[in-house]
């Protein structure tokens, strides 16, 4: 049946999701989004130097658990497994706000899932899921994210559209003209020149990522084989040329390349000052699929704008292009905040219980 709007505002039956982020799983995940040609991020692997524990990668919960919430929310719209097999679900947007970082491995997190919208896009029925995660031991909010998905070729029932306007993702920063250090802008102190970074992705990355997002204590469900990332036959059935790189894998890989770029600029002080930063926001729209054949592929990561705000936050706006110039990620941005600098709202979140 077509997507129904009747359950918008409701929690799917699997909510809340519980994630016991054991250390080995958290390390596996980071390995799954680590480009082989770049150094591993030591902080996620080194258990000799962290008195509080090893930090959990900010995309861990989103990539390992929130996708379960998205699927669960999708099924509350009335779509059937048979329809999903015929009309694949693709990840369309991801937005997130991270509070009170860092998260730590070997802790349990609870994620409340809500279906907050159903509507129509040109390519199919659109649904939006809100995920709010807390540290189960303390009740402190750690992140809130919004997953947008499209069921290709399947439209909402009777053309209905229903979105909870007060539950949608915060607006993303618009792409301003490239600023210069001499700019007198009241919100920004400097900006970098546009540049392109070559990214390398092994042909095996979809399978590596798929293995790394699974809880190693639980067997992989047979139904998980029905996806366009690891099943060539199903990818062809979805009218794709071959296996596709998971969007969250692409996002994690892009993040690592941009972190390296920040480190380089901090060393040169051009224009980013040296300070400890944490990822505080992200927003992307997934576009053209990244097709994986049998050899390593190369993607183009365009750094469109780098803005340093007066409060010390760094925002990088970017896009990722495929070899044929398709936009695999568009309207993308990452925001980092100084670890020592918590905004008033974040200070309130730190003491709040959800």
Residue 347 pLDDT exceeds 60:
no
Structure confidence by residue, pLDDT tens digits, 302-329: 999 888 887 888 899 999 999 888 999 9
CA distance 309 to 271: 12
Asked if residue 62 lies in contact with residue 96, where contact means CB atoms within 8 angstroms, the answer is yes
pLDDT band at 283 (very low <50, low <70, confident <90, very high): very high
Query: What tokens appear for 47 in the block?
Result: 């258990």
pTM: predicted TM-score of the whole model, two decimal places: 0.86
Evaluate the CA torsion angle 95, 37, 27, 67 in order and state its sign. Answer: positive
Considering all CA atoms of the chain, what is the largest pairwise distance in Å, rounded to the nearest integer?
Answer: 59
**pLDDT score for 123:** 86
Asked if residue 235 lies in contact with residue 292, where contact means CB atoms within 8 angstroms, the answer is no
Q: Give the SS3 label for residue 240.
A: coil
**pLDDT score for 272:** 67
* DSSP one-letter string for 15-55: PSEEEE--HHHHHHHHHHT--TTS---GGGT--SS-SS-PE
Residue 344 pLDDT exceeds 60:
no
pLDDT band at 80 (very low <50, low <70, confident <90, very high): confident
Neighbour tally for 92: CB within 10 Å: 20
CA distance 267 to 285: 31
CATH number of 17-350: 3.10.129.10
Domain ranges of the chain: 17-350
Mean of the pLDDT values across residues 220-243?
78
Among 87-101, 221-235, 281-295, name the one with the lowest average pLDDT.
221-235
Structure confidence by residue, pLDDT tens digits, 111-155: 999 999 999 998 888 999 999 999 998 899 999 999 999 988 888
Cβ contacts of 294 within 8 Å, gap of 6 or more: 203
Residue 85 pLDDT exceeds 80:
no
CA distance 26 to 45: 9
Residue 50 pLDDT exceeds 70:
no
Mean of the pLDDT values across residues 212-240?
79
- Phi then psi for 75, rounded to 5 degrees? -65, -25
Asked if residue 104 lies in contact with residue 53, where contact means CB atoms within 8 angstroms, the answer is yes
How many percent of the chain have pLDDT more than 70? 85
Q: Give the SS3 label for residue 141.
A: strand
């Amino acid at each position: 049946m077509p997507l129904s709007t009747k359950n918008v505002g409701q929690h799917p039956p699997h909510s809340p999701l519980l994630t016991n982020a054991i250390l080995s799983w958290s390390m596996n995940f980071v390995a799954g989004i680590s480009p082989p040609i770049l150094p591993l991020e030591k902080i996620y692997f080194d258990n000799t130097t962290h008195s509080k524990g090893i930090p959990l990668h900010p995309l861990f919960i989103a990539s390992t658990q929130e996708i379960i919430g998205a699927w669960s929310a999708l099924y509350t719209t009335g779509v059937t497994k048979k329809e999903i097999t015929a009309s694949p679900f693709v990840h369309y947007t991801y937005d997130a706000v991270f509070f009170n970082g860092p998260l730590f491995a070997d802790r349990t997190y609870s994620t409340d899932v809500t279906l907050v919208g159903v509507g129509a896009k040109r390519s199919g029925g659109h649904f939006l899921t809100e995920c709010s995660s807390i540290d189960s031991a303390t009740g402190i909010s750690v992140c809130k994210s919004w997953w947008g998905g499209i069921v290709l070729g399947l439209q909402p029932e009777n053309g209905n559209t229903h979105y909870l306007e007060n539950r949608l993702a915060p607006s993303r920063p618009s792409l301003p003209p490239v600023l210069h250090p001499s700019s007198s802008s009241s919100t920004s102190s400097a900006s970098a020149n546009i540049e392109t970074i070559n990214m390398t992705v092994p042909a095996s990355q979809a399978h590596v990522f798929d293995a790394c997002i699974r809880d190693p204590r639980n067997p992989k469900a047979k139904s998980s084989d029905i996806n366009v990332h690891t099943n060539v036959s199903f990818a062809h059935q979805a009218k794709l040329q071959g296996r596709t790189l998971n969007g969250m894998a692409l996002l994690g890989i892009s993040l690592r390349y941009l972190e390296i770029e920040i480190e380089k600029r901090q060393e040169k002080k051009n224009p980013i000052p040296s300070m400890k930063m944490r990822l505080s926001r992200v927003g992307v729209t997934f576009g053209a699929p990244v097709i994986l054949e049998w050899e390593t592929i190369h993607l183009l990561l365009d750094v469109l704008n780098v803005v340093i705000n007066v409060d010390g936050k760094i925002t990088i706006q970017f896009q990722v292009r495929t070899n044929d110039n398709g936009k695999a990620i568009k309207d993308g941005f990452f925001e980092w905040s100084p670890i020592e600098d918590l905004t008033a709202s974040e200070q309130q979140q730190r003491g709040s219980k959800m």
